[in-house]
Amino acid sequence: MDKAFYISVILPLKLEWEPCYSLPSGTDACKVGIGDRVKVPFAGKVYSGVVSRTGVKPETEPSKIKSIISVEDGLEPVIPEELELWRQVAGYYLCTIGEVYKAAYPTGKINLEESRAAAVEKARRGREKLMESMRGKVARIEERLKKKLETADNAKEGTRTRIRSMEEAARIEKELAAAQEALVKAEAAYSKEIASSCRTSGQAGKGIPSIDIRLSATQERAYASIRDGFKDGKPVMLNGVTGSGKTEIYMKLAQEALSEGRNVLYLVPEIALSRQLEERLRAHFGDRLMTYHSGETAASRRDTAETIRSYKTSGDSYIVLGTRSSLFLPHHSLGLIIVDEEHDSSYKQDSPAPRYNGRDTALMLSVIQKCSIILGSATPSLEELYNCRYGKHRLVELRDRYHGSLESDIEIIDTKAERRKRGMQGSFSRKLIDHIQATLRKGGQVMILRSRRSWAPALQCEGCGEIPKCPHCNVSLSLHKSTQGGMMTCHYCDYRAVYTGGCGKCGEALKSLGAGTQRIEEEAAALFPEARIARLDSDTAQSKSFETRTIREFSKGEIDILIGTQMLSKGFDFCNLRLVAVISADALLGMQDFRADEKALQLLEQFRGRSGRRGEKGLFVIQTSQPEHPIYQRLKNNEASDFSDSLLLERETFNFPPYSRIIEICVKDRYSDRAERMAGRLGDMLRKRFGDALSGPYTPAVDKIADEYLRAIRISLKKDRWLVSGKNDILEIVQRFEKESRYPGHITLNVDPS
């Protein structure tokens, strides 16, 4: 009797353990290794899992252990570097490794992988059958030939039987030769086919790109300093103003990694906004460049993953431009990771688990891959400034713009004062209108920013004061106008109701509260009838082609005024953009969050960086009702770095991140009272352990989303040697609470909430 062989398997589920399975009797244990994909039964369903350990000693009664269904021959094994990253992410973000596996290998991707493997298998079987029948045919002819020759041998020389048999044998010999030739040909074709199916479709552009990147003297100094940082094995933070040539430096570093035969991962917060960057990289790196993000089809993402795998054997090198999910590709021999716009909060995944931050996960990956990593931004996050201040990362600065160093002028317009003087026309102040007209007259382009999309962010009844709300979320509905009338939509759950213009309660007319991008566009069209105007926000950018076209038209000068949301703060480069205006900066400052000032400053700095490129002085206009806010003085006096210093000091005093780590525990329940009760009980349990470090339970600003009521608890942990055990205690207490009160599935943990 052979001894049973046990393995543990990672399933794409929120499971705290990795279940144990045996192999079907007769399976060669040596054939199953860590990382292999296996089909297993679990709780009445079948899953595609990943072998995490082999030769394990089962903790349960061996007779109760189920056998795997099969080893998934066609699916590529997960490599050790991937598994290591999954473990670290799960450990850091307090989720299960299965949840990370699920994010790395979404079902769609696995299904495609499976169907491809199945198709290959089917074709193989078909071929084999055909070949078998051909072999059978050859054998049968051989048999016939043998018999004929025997008959001939047995007959006497010269007899008719003998002559006829010999003639027939000659004919059969010909037939045999033809059959054998066909078989040889088929076998050759088949083995060629197998060889090529092992390679994938990806074609690497061979050779090193020929275009030379020439750095300016300042860039060269920064570059040398970056290399020094890499030599010390430190992550480098490149703080460079917009237009200083950070991208140029990344490209040079990437090119070097590639020429050493190592691979490059270039991370961006959102791919939609990186079209210009993609074109620039494509021009330089050609076919070596691959993009990867959640907007791509599962098939295209699988192809990228397979191409990357195939490069391991072919020795070609690649550069992937992608969003955070590209961290989970089967990377091998990475030489460099670039984290562009590292401060951007889009790097953080809020839901579902793993609630990871792409920037911080990139740092983990760089350690696993033993590769260099560079983070870049014009407005570094406080986290990064902290890392540089305490010597964990190396700070490299680029203060000059490549095409000349003229900072744009800033003008703050007090909308309250303007309103009193009747200087406002809708959302535009008279002063802003004048600036826009002057810019257009000179042939310059204008960008207008408004942080709320829609026509009106909220509505209110003129009669009874009712504000239409989403039936599923505790938020007001926004009005989106269309040629057919309009829709009231919820920006949280996408609920939609037809807009009638009347109040659902009393029937009186609804008036709009505030103006969103759509309305600003309408106002601008009326104010500047000659101008060509376009809008870019997540409503219009639904279609990729529209967005690409808009950006392209704007950069070619075919659009005069571009109106949009935060989207426009990202790395576009428009050389004729002379005026950037923020319609209302109040919306940026009003947030009840300790990060509000940091984010507002970053956003305003980013907007400002858009205007006046290519040696031309631009103008940055901010409309606000709080002109006295310190943020504007800082901005005007170019004291952004002082401001960051004072923010850091504030964070230190109040023990906020980056001086501490926040873990947010959120209770979600269909019943408001149960959410309240459970959050209260969980809070008590956690408070026993964490005392004053805990705040809450509190009701978040939006306390109901998609029919679930929310209560939150925050625990802030010091960054000392008890940090890890503190985090694990939270996890342990939450799991115990879920079990004891039979309350699974309602609690989420978020490490470093944004």
Q: Which residues make up the interface to ligand ADP (CB under 6 A)?
A: 214-216, 219, 240, 242-248, 402-403, 573
Sheet strands (E) in 245-312: 263-267, 289-292
Beta bridge partners, 236, equal: 374, 394
Q: Are 717 and 727 in contact (CB under 8 A)?
A: yes
- Specify whether the backbone of 667 is left (phi greater than 0), alpha (psi in -120 to 50) or beta: beta
Least spacing, CB of residue 403 vs ligand ADP, in Å:
6
User: Under the criterion CB under 5 A, does residue 491 sit at the interface with Zn ion?
Assistant: no
Q: Is 122 exposed, middle or buried (0-12, 13-18, 19+ CB in 10 A)?
A: exposed
CA 628 to chain centre: 38
Nearer to Zn ion, 373 or 475 (CB): 475
Least spacing, CB of residue 212 vs ligand ADP, in Å:
10
Q: Which of 408, 453, 419, 428 is nearest to 608 (CA)?
A: 408
Q: Of 104, 253, 473, 524, which lies in the binding site for Zn ion, with binding defined by CB under 5 A? A: 473
Least spacing, CB of residue 394 vs ligand ADP, in Å:
18
Taking each helix axis as running N to C, give the angle between helix 80-92 and helix 97-104, from 0 to 180 degrees, rounded to the nearest 10.
Answer: 120
> CA–CA separation, 383 vs 359, rounded Å?
11
Backbone angles phi, psi at 21, to 5 degrees: -135, 160
> CA–CA separation, 296 vs 587, rounded Å?
33
Least spacing, CB of residue 103 vs Zn ion, in Å:
25
Nearer to ligand ADP, 244 or 750 (CB): 244
> CA–CA separation, 411 vs 734, rounded Å?
51
Least spacing, CB of residue 248 vs ligand ADP, in Å:
4
Q: How many positions of this chain bind Zn ion (CB under 5 A)?
A: 7
Nearer to ligand ADP, 402 or 428 (CB): 402
Beta strand 319-322 with 263-267 is parallel
User: Under the criterion CB under 5 A, does residue 470 sit at the interface with Zn ion?
Assistant: yes
Least spacing, CB of residue 463 vs Zn ion, in Å:
24
Least spacing, CB of residue 707 vs Zn ion, in Å:
9
Give every strand in the sheet of 478-482, ordered side by side.
478-482, 485-489, 496-498
Least spacing, CB of residue 341 vs ligand ADP, in Å:
9
User: Under the criterion CB under 5 A, does residue 490 sit at the interface with Zn ion?
Assistant: yes
Per CB under 5 A, contacts with Zn ion among 379-438 are: none
> CA–CA separation, 220 vs 223, rounded Å?
5
Q: Which does 470 bind (CB under 5 to 8 A by kind): ligand ADP, Zn ion, none?
A: Zn ion
Nearer to ligand ADP, 379 or 660 (CB): 379
Q: Are 294 and 364 in contact (CB under 8 A)?
A: no
Least spacing, CB of residue 703 vs Zn ion, in Å:
12
Nearer to Zn ion, 261 or 471 (CB): 471
Tokens standing for 608? 């400002």
Nearer to Zn ion, 489 or 565 (CB): 489
User: Under the criterion CB under 5 A, does residue 493 sit at the interface with Zn ion?
Assistant: yes
Q: Which does 242 bind (CB under 5 to 8 A by kind): Zn ion, ligand ADP, none?
A: ligand ADP
Q: Which does 248 bind (CB under 5 to 8 A by kind): ligand ADP, Zn ion, none?
A: ligand ADP
Which residue's beta carbon is nearest to the bound ligand ADP?
245
Across 233-242, b (16+ Cβ under 10 Å) vs e yields ebbbbbbbbb
Q: Of 5, 190, 492, 698, which lies in the binding site for Zn ion, with binding defined by CB under 5 A? A: 492
Nearer to Zn ion, 492 or 743 (CB): 492
Contacts of residue 109, defined as CB under 8 A and 6 or more positions apart, other chains included, come to 298, 301, 302, 305
Q: Which does 245 bind (CB under 5 to 8 A by kind): ligand ADP, Zn ion, none?
A: ligand ADP
Q: Which does 93 bind (CB under 5 to 8 A by kind): Zn ion, ligand ADP, none?
A: none
Beta bridge partners, 411, equal: 621
Q: Which does 738 bind (CB under 5 to 8 A by kind): ligand ADP, Zn ion, none?
A: none
Nearer to Zn ion, 414 or 669 (CB): 669
Kindly list the residues in this chain that would bind Zn ion in the complex (CB under 5 A): 470, 472-473, 490, 492-493, 495
